[in-house]
Amino acid sequence: MAPTVGVLEAAGSGGCLLTTGPDSLEAIAFHLAELGAEFTILEPPELITRSRVLAALLHRASAATPPPAAEAP
């Protein structure tokens, strides 16, 4: 990871800790989600709250959209 993005440190068995300071809470929430890996937000509490709000928004948006039709073999 580039030092301009954050500092990545080993943290326990198979885990790591990312320390970063993005421009916005939304930016870090979406950046973490797009990595496609399991993660836990430790702090700040505002990021936890904002991530929950964004998750609910995305869930509602995806639930309102019919799934794509299965492609023919």
Is residue 68, in this structure, part of any structural domain at all? no
Establish how many alpha carbons lie within 13 A of residue 44's alpha carbon, considering only the half-sphere containing its beta carbon: 9
Number of Cβ atoms within 10 Å of the Cβ of 31: 14
Cα–Cα distance for residue pair 50/25, rounded to 1 Å: 7
Cα–Cα distance for residue pair 60/45, rounded to 1 Å: 23
Supply the pTM of this predicted model: 0.69
12-70 pLDDT per residue, tens: 888 888 888 777 888 888 888 888 888 899 889 999 999 999 999 999 988 877 777 77
Into how many domains does the chain fold? Answer: 1
Is residue 11, in this structure, part of any structural domain at all? yes
* Helix, coil or strand: residue 66: coil
Domain residues for the domain of 43 are 6-63
